[in-house]
C-alpha cells in the first residue's frame, strides 16, 4: 500500500488454497510477508501445503530459489481451518471457488472478524466485486485483486474498483502489487475485467467458427499463431484454460452485457456436458496423451487439416499482377521457391520499380545471412517483367495483388479469363473482398481461389487459402501444396468477410476501443493487460496504430455488413478518430503520438 501503509502490512490472510490461492500465498511470502492460509478442513490444508511445496520445489530446480530462501518462504506460511484466526491480519484476499453465494457468505463472515481498517480483496475473475462489497459494512474497502495463473510466474494483477471503493484503497492496493513485483492495471467492475473481457469474446468466436465447420481446428489455431504471432491458437488455449471454466466466464459476461458475442456457443456446453474439458481431462478440442498433458495425440483418422487427396495441378511459371509492396513480396517468395515469375505492371516505370524493390529485399536477406549471393542472383534471374497481358498466356498460376477495389479486380479477372490457358489457376490476394466476385467475372469459377499472403510476404509464413462455393477441390489442394513448397503454412477457410485472421482479430480490437470509450480502463492498462495476461505480442491499441485506424475501420465495416451482428458495429470512437485524421503511426498520431 502507499509507503507508510505498505510498511504496516506484516501478515496477509489467504482464504482458499487451491491452485490459485497457493500461488497467491507464495507471492506474498516471497515478498517477506507472513501468510495465514485458511481452508475448509485438514485434508484441504494438506493439499494446499502440498501445492506450495511442489511449486517452490520447481522454483528451486530452475534456480529461481535457493534452499535457504525456499525454507524461509515455507516458514512464512501457516495454515488453519478457522476463519476466526484471521482477526489479526492486515489484509485478506479470497481465492475460493467462483460461486457468488459462497463468496458472499465469506465476505460477510470476514467483515465481522477482521479490524475495520483492513481491506478485503477478491481474486475472482468473473464475479461482481460490487455484489461482494455490499455484503459488508465496509464496501469502500472491498476491492478486486485478480492474479493470473500461475501467480508466482505471471506478473499481471487486475485491481478492480467499484463505484464506492475509496480511491486511496485503489492507490494502496496498486502500490502493494508493485511491491510484490507485479504489474497492476486498474479497471472498473464488470464481468471479465480487462483481460478476460477481451480474450473470451475472441475465443468464443473461434469456437463458433469451428462449430460451423468454417475451418478446421488445426487451421484456426495455425492462422492465429502464424498470422498474428500469438503463442497459442484459440482452441488449444480453450483446452488449456478448461472448457468448463471458459463456459462459466462467457456465461457471466453474457448475463451482464447481453452481447451475443459473449453467449457461449452450443458446442462448448455440449463438450462440457460430455466431460470433454480440455487438457485436465485428456480431451477437449484436441486429444492429449493423458490428463493435464500438453502432448496432442494425432487422430486415428485422416487429420482434419489435410488435403482432400485429389490430384493437384503442376505449377511452374507464375504471373503476378501488380507492382506494389504485396506484389513484389509475393514475386520474391515465388522466385526463391524456384518458379519462373512474370510481373505484370501497368507501365514500364512501375515494373522497373518493382524489380528494384525485389533486388533491395533480396540484398537485405543476403546481408542478414538469410540467403546466399548465388541464390539471390538465381532468384533475380527467374523474374521478368511485362506490361502486356498476352505474356501471361502460358502461366500455370496468376496471383493478382492490386488495390482493394472490387471493380478493378473484376476487370482484371475478366481479362485473365480471356488470356490465360485452360487449367491455369487464377488467384486473388484480397484480404477483405469476396473471392466469388472475382470468380463471377470469369467463365471458369472452379479455377478461381483466394491466396491471402500476409505482409511482408517474404517474412510472414501464413497463407489463407480461400475457396468459393465453386472452387474445385483440385484447385484448393494445388494452392495448399504450392504454399507448403514455398515454406509457408496454408490454412483453408470459406469465402466470407475477414477469412480467419481478420474475422477473429478485428472484433477483438473493436471491443478494446469500446472498452476505452466507456472510460472503463486506460489504453495503457488495456495494452498491458493483454500483453501480460494473455501473452499477446502487442496490446490492442499499439497494434491498431501499426495497422492503421482507417484500415481497421474498413475491415470492421466489412465484417458488420456481412454478418449484420450488432457487436461487430464499428466503435464510435474509432469512427471519430479516423474522421479526425488520427490514423496511427503513419499519420504520427493515433491512440498515441509518434515522432
Q: Where are the beta strands (DSSP E) in 115-195?
A: 119-122, 142-147, 156-160, 183-187
Residue 557: which H helix or E strand, with range? helix 549-563
CA distance 403 to 419: 21
**Cα 275 to the center of its chain, rounded Å:** 26
Catalytic residue from among 55, 125, 128, 510:
125
**Cα 557 to the center of its chain, rounded Å:** 21
Q: Where are the beta strands (DSSP E) in 322-394?
A: 341-344, 383-386
Is 205 annotated in the active site? no
Is 196 annotated in the active site? yes
Catalytic residue from among 146, 205, 262, 452:
146
Peptide bond into 186 cis (omega under 30): no
CA distance 223 to 502: 10
CA distance 173 to 414: 65
Cell 498520431 sits on residue: 589
CA distance 38 to 15: 5
Task: Confirm if 335 and 380 have CB atoms less than 8 A apart.
Answer: yes
Instruction: Give the total residue count for the chain.
Output: 595
Task: Confirm if 381 and 373 have CB atoms less than 8 A apart.
Answer: no
CA distance 261 to 200: 9
Catalytic residue from among 55, 126, 128, 196:
196
CA-nearest of 344, 423, 348 to 383 is 344
Catalytic residue from among 26, 158, 218, 464:
158
Alpha-carbon distances, residue 357 vs 256, 343, 354, 537 (angstroms): 52, 12, 5, 28
CA distance 78 to 59: 20
- For residue 235 the three cell numbers come to 482452441
Is 158 annotated in the active site? yes
CA distance 142 to 239: 33
Is 146 annotated in the active site? yes
Query: How do strand 425-428 and strand 156-160 relate by DSSP bridges?
Result: unpaired
CA distance 454 to 461: 8
Task: Confirm if 155 and 532 have CB atoms less than 8 A apart.
Answer: yes
* Active site positions, annotated: 125, 146, 158, 196
Amino acid at each position: 500500500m502507499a509507503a507508510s501503509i505498505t510498511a504496516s502490512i506484516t501478515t496477509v490472510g489467504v482464504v482458499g488454497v487451491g491452485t490459485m490461492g497457493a500461488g497467491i500465498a507464495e507471492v506474498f511470502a516471497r515478498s517477506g510477508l507472513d501468510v495465514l492460509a485458511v481452508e475448509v478442513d485438514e485434508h484441504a490444508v494438506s493439499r494446499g501445503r502440498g501445492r506450495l511445496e511442489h511449486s517452490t520445489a520447481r522454483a528451486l530446480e530452475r534456480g529461481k530459489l535457493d534452499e535457504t530462501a525456499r525454507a524461509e518462504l515455507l516458514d512464512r506460511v501457516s495454515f488453519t481451518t478457522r476463519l476466526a484466526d484471521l482477526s489479526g491480519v492486515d489484509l485478506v484476499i479470497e481465492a475460493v471457488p467462483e460461486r457468488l453465494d459462497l463468496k458472499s457468505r465469506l465476505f460477510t463472515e470476514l467483515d465481522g472478524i477482521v479490524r475495520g481498517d483492513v481491506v478485503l480483496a477478491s481474486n475472482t475473475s468473473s464475479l461482481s466485486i460490487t455484489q461482494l462489497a455490499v455484503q459488508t459494512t465496509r464496501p469502500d474497502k472491498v476491492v478486486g485483486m485478480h492474479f493470473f495463473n500461475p501467480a508466482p510466474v505471471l506478473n499481471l494483477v487486475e485491481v478492480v474498483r467499484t463505484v464506492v471503493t475509496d480511491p486511496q484503497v485503489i492507490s494502496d492496493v496498486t502500490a502493494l502489487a508493485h511491491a510484490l513485483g507485479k504489474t497492476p492495471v486498474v479497471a472498473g467492475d464488470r464481468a471479465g475485467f480487462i483481460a478476460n473481457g477481451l480474450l473470451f469474446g475472441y475465443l468464443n468466436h473461434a469456437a463458433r467458427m469451428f462449430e460451423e465447420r468454417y475451418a478446421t481446428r488445426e487451421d484456426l489455431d495455425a492462422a492465429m499463431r502464424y498470422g498474428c504471432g500469438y503463442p497459442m491458437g484459440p482452441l488449444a488455449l480453450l483446452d488449456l484454460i478448461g472448457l468448463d471454466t471458459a463456459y462459466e466466464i462467457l456465461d457471466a459476461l453474457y448475463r451482464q452485457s447481453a452481447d451475443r458475442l459473449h453467449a457461449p456457443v452450443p458446442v462448448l456446453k455440449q463438450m462440457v456436458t460430455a466431460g470433454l474439458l480440455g487438457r485436465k481431462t485428456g480431451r477437449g478440442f484436441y486429444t492429449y496423451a493423458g490428463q493435464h498433458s500438453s502432448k496432442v495425440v494425432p487422430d486415428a483418422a485422416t487429420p482434419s487439416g489435410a488435403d482432400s487427396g485429389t490430384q493437384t495441378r503442376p505449377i511452374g511459371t507464375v504471373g503476378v499482377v501488380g507492382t506494389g509492396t504485396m506484389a513484389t513480396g509475393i514475386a520474391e517468395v515465388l522466385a526463391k521457391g524456384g518458379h519462373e515469375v512474370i510481373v505484370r505492371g501497368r507501365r514500364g516505370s512501375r515494373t522497373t520499380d518493382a524489380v528494384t524493390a525485389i533486388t533491395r529485399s533480396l540484398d537485405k536477406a543476403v546481408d542478414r545471412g538469410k540467403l546466399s549471393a548465388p541464390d539471390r542472383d538465381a532468384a533475380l534471374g527467374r523474374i521478368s517483367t511485362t506490361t502486356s497481358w498476352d505474356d501471361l498466356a502460358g502461366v500455370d498460376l496468376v496471383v493478382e495483388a492490386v488495390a482493394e477495389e472490387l471493380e478493378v479486380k473484376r476487370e482484371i479477372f475478366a481479362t485473365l479469363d480471356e488470356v490465360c490457358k485452360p487449367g491455369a489457376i487464377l488467384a486473388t490476394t484480397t484480404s477483405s473482398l469476396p473471392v466469388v466476385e472475382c470468380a463471377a467475372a470469369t467463365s471458369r469459377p472452379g479455377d478461381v481461389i483466394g491466396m491471402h499472403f500476409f505482409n511482408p510476404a517474404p517474412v510472414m509464413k501464413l497463407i489463407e487459402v480461400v475457396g468459393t462455393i465453386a472452387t474445385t477441390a483440385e484447385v484448393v489442394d494445388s494452392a495448399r501444396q504450392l504454399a507448403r513448397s514455398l515454406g509457408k503454412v496454408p490454412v483453408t477457410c470459406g469465402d466470407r468477410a475477414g477469412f480467419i485472421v481478420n474475422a477473429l482479430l478485428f472484433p477483438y480490437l473493436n471491443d478494446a476501443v469500446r472498452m476505452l470509450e466507456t472510460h472503463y480502463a486506460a489504453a495503457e492498462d488495456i495494452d498491458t493487460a493483454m500483453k501480460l495476461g494473455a501473452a499477446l505480442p502487442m496490446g490492442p491499441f499499439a497494434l491498431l496504430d501499426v495497422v492503421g485506424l482507417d484500415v481497421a475501420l474498413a475491415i470492421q465495416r466489412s465484417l458488420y455488413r456481412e454478418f449484420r451482428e450488432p457487436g461487430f458495429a464499428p466503435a464510435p470512437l474509432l469512427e471519430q478518430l479516423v474522421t479526425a485524421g488520427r490514423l496511427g503511426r503513419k499519420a504520427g498520431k493515433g491512440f498515441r503520438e509518434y515522432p
